[in-house]
Amino acid sequence: MTNNSPRLARVNNAVYQTLGERWYGAEDDPIALLRAESRLRNPWIASELTRACGDRPAEVLDIGCGGGFLSNNLGSLGHRVTGLDASSDALAVARRYDSTGSVRYQQGDALNLPYADCSFDAVCAMDFLEHVENPDRVIAEAQRVLKPSGLFFFHTFNRNFLSWLIVIKGVEWCVRNTPRDLHVLRLFLKPEEVRKACERHGLVGLQLRGVRPVFGRAFLKLLLTGRVSPDFCFTFTRSTGLGFSGLATKPG
């Protein structure tokens, strides 16, 4: 799905290993955009879990869980959540902010998940596929550990000029403390590429939702100050031209 040449730019994943408390507190950092995105996506994911599982708690795996924005939210709703990440620093922060103490956090590799086949009702890979050289392997592993009728949730970015301009350069220009290569365009994924990968690994019924910022007062404040205020927000949209969230199902 991507060109793996070592001569091409590499995404800067090291930044997530040194954020500490900035995961939850910093406004002068692109991590605040992730917090804003999670406020949009978390209720959608929770709603879909209720639709699929009814009142029973779902077994959920959150791949690339970072500071626990999704994992801790789902844990607070009574789901049995496992958060997996490569960064021990991020996992330590996620544990501190787990108000229930119920989420199981584990350091590990998304390309070789340390779980048995058919272990989870849902697997989530939010803002993660564009951070690895082999997203196809992530999707294959997600399908493997899903139970029949299990749900695969993800969020990523479209590979086009508009995404380069807004998601990459716009964030670099407008948000304070954005490091170089926080994202690289070659790792962004076109919706059809994700669709084919899901189908190739036995995930069906893909549903896509475009995501974009809300262009209001908080957006203007960001442009003027370089800070992402707590009222900055995203919305779902029909267009997948920038970011897009998706849901696919493992057949029962």
Q: What is the CA radius of gyration of the chain?
A: 17
Cα 197–Cα 202–Cα 207 angle in degrees, nearest 5? 65
The residue among 3 and 168 whose pLDDT is bigger is 168
Domains and CATH numbers, the chain: 13-249 (3.40.50.150)
Q: Which residues pair with 59 in a beta bridge?
A: 80
Q: Kindly indicate the confidence band of residue 8, based on its pLDDT and cuts at 50, 70 and 90.
A: confident
Residue 3 has pLDDT above 50, yes or no: no
Contact between residue 233 and residue 221 where contact means Cβ atoms under 8 Å apart:
no
| SS3 call for 157 | strand
How far is it, in rounded angstroms, from Cα 178 to Cα 190?
24
Tell me, what's the pLDDT at 26?
A: 97
Torsion sign across C-alpha atoms 206, 250, 199, 70: positive
Dig out the tokens for 189 from the structure.
């994924």
Cβ-proximal residues to 29 (8 Å cutoff; 6+ apart), any chain = 19, 22, 175, 176, 177, 178, 228
Contact between residue 47 and residue 82 where contact means Cβ atoms under 8 Å apart:
no
Quote the percentage of the chain above a pLDDT of 90: 96
Contact between residue 90 and residue 17 where contact means Cβ atoms under 8 Å apart:
yes
Q: Kindly indicate the confidence band of residue 1, based on its pLDDT and cuts at 50, 70 and 90.
A: low
What's the whole-number mean pLDDT along residues 115-123? Answer: 98
Average pLDDT, rounded, for the chain: 96
How far is it, in rounded angstroms, from Cα 64 to Cα 126?
7
**Per-residue model confidence as pLDDT tens digits over 22-58:** 999 999 999 999 999 999 999 999 999 999 999 999 9
